Chain A
Amino acid sequence: MKFGVIRFPGSCDEVDAQLAAARVGEAVLLWHADLDLQGVDAVIVPGGFSYGDYLRVGAIARFAPIMGPVTEFAREGGLVLGICNGFQVLCEAGLLPGALLPNVGLRFVCRQVGVEVLDAETPFTRACAAGDVLSIPVKHTTGRYHPPPGFDPALAVLRYAPGENPNGSEHDIAGVRNEEGNVLGLMPHPEHAVDERTGSADGLALFASMALTYPYPSAVGGHGYA
């Protein structure tokens, strides 16, 4: 299993994501201006402040050269995980439904939260059980998830545990997938929770799930996740 983690100007969590992925497979960095995905089996769009978050979070990054091949990769069924700013980028790119708005409290929030797994059948949560509550940190200013009109609630894969919604996300949504199930975005940072020595290793479950599902059926011509 080979992960590729994109580095944009202004990314800051790409190395942690690479180190987390390297615990379950091989992991390389992909440069935003490149067009080559280096044959990776999964793409991670990491956290940070891509292109300074100018104009609107994720608005500029979605037009980065590498997003062309990433979009094609996603359309072919390849696994794409967007974390925090990566989630914002994937929403702006139209690979995930909805958008992220400024936190209701208007403040940067940095704390450990409980994240409940609603759907443990996705390629990103397969190592979990439905109802599991993962202890994972959030750190963001623009994390209030706003679903599009007619949003299918089944696309909400993760939600903040009761009373722990840090940003005012509608329906406490912490992470959503696309209809096909091969793209997931979430505001919490699983890559910062992969070692008990830093408080929690619960985030590792997402990376382990991705490695579990490799080789991913639809990446070789199947259709969506089972």
Chain B
Amino acid sequence: MRARVLIRPKAGILDPQGIAVERALPALGFEGVANVHVGRLVELDVEDPSQLDAMCRRLLANPLIEDYEIQA
């Protein structure tokens, strides 16, 4: 099955990419934007989705600095 894993900087960890994007949007005229965070998306076909959590913990994310969300 097709699965998606969303990986974001952990809450409370300074996210300079998010800050840069948040500052850039008003410069283009987009107002009212807050709490921007930039992460990454991993899409994968998996035979056994029950392994996704272990995949995230061991490789796809670093739990010390990142949160992950599995969409399967």
Closest A residue by C-beta to B20: A106
Give A146 Cβ to nearest chain B Cβ, in Å: 6
Chain B residues whose CB sits within 8 angstroms of the CB of A63 once the complex forms: 59
Determine if A59 and B14 form an interchain contact, defined as CB atoms under 8 angstroms apart: no
Q: How many residues of B contact A (CB 8 A)?
A: 11
Determine if B14 and A168 form an interchain contact, defined as CB atoms under 8 angstroms apart: yes
Knowing A104-B16, A168-B14 touch, does A98 contact B64 (C-beta < 8 A)? yes
Give B68 Cβ to nearest chain A Cβ, in Å: 12
Contacting residues of chain B (11-66) with chain A, CB-CB under 8 angstroms: 13-14, 16-17, 20, 59-60, 62, 64-65
Contacting residues of chain A (90-115) with chain B, CB-CB under 8 angstroms: 92, 98-99, 101-106
Determine if B14 and A104 form an interchain contact, defined as CB atoms under 8 angstroms apart: yes
Chain B residues whose CB sits within 8 angstroms of the CB of A106 once the complex forms: 16-17, 20
The DSSP consensus for interface residues of chain A is: loop
Determine if B16 and A59 form an interchain contact, defined as CB atoms under 8 angstroms apart: no
Determine if B16 and A99 form an interchain contact, defined as CB atoms under 8 angstroms apart: no
Determine if B64 and A59 form an interchain contact, defined as CB atoms under 8 angstroms apart: no
The DSSP consensus for interface residues of chain B is: mixed
Determine if B59 and A55 form an interchain contact, defined as CB atoms under 8 angstroms apart: yes
Determine if A92 and B14 form an interchain contact, defined as CB atoms under 8 angstroms apart: no
Chain A residues whose CB sits within 8 angstroms of the CB of B62 once the complex forms: 56, 59, 92, 99
Chain A residues whose CB sits within 8 angstroms of the CB of B9 once the complex forms: 101
Determine if B20 and A55 form an interchain contact, defined as CB atoms under 8 angstroms apart: no
Chain A residues whose CB sits within 8 angstroms of the CB of B16 once the complex forms: 102-106, 168
Closest A residue by C-beta to B60: A55
Determine if B59 and A59 form an interchain contact, defined as CB atoms under 8 angstroms apart: yes
Chain A residues whose CB sits within 8 angstroms of the CB of B60 once the complex forms: 55
Please report the C-alpha to C-alpha distance between residue A168 and residue B16 in the assembled complex, in whole angstroms. Answer: 10
Determine if B59 and A99 form an interchain contact, defined as CB atoms under 8 angstroms apart: no
Closest A residue by C-beta to B7: A56
Chain A residues whose CB sits within 8 angstroms of the CB of B17 once the complex forms: 102, 106
Please report the C-alpha to C-alpha distance between residue A64 and residue B44 in the assembled complex, in whole angstroms. Answer: 22
Give B40 Cβ to nearest chain A Cβ, in Å: 8
Chain A residues whose CB sits within 8 angstroms of the CB of B65 once the complex forms: 99, 101, 146
Give A169 Cβ to nearest chain B Cβ, in Å: 11
Residue pairs across A and B with Cβ atoms less than 8 A apart, 21 shown, are A55-B60, A59-B59, A59-B62, A92-B62, A99-B64, A101-B9, A101-B14, A102-B16, A102-B17, A103-B16, A104-B14, A104-B16, A105-B16, A106-B17, A106-B20, A144-B14, A146-B13, A146-B64, A146-B65, A148-B64, A168-B14
CB-CB nearest 9 A-B residue pairs = A99-B65, A99-B64, A106-B16, A104-B16, A99-B62, A148-B64, A146-B65, A106-B20, A101-B65
Instruction: Name 16 extra pairs, CB < 8 A, besides A55-B59, A104-B14, A144-B14.
Output: A55-B60, A56-B62, A59-B62, A63-B59, A92-B62, A98-B64, A99-B65, A101-B9, A101-B13, A102-B16, A102-B17, A104-B16, A106-B16, A146-B64, A146-B65, A168-B14
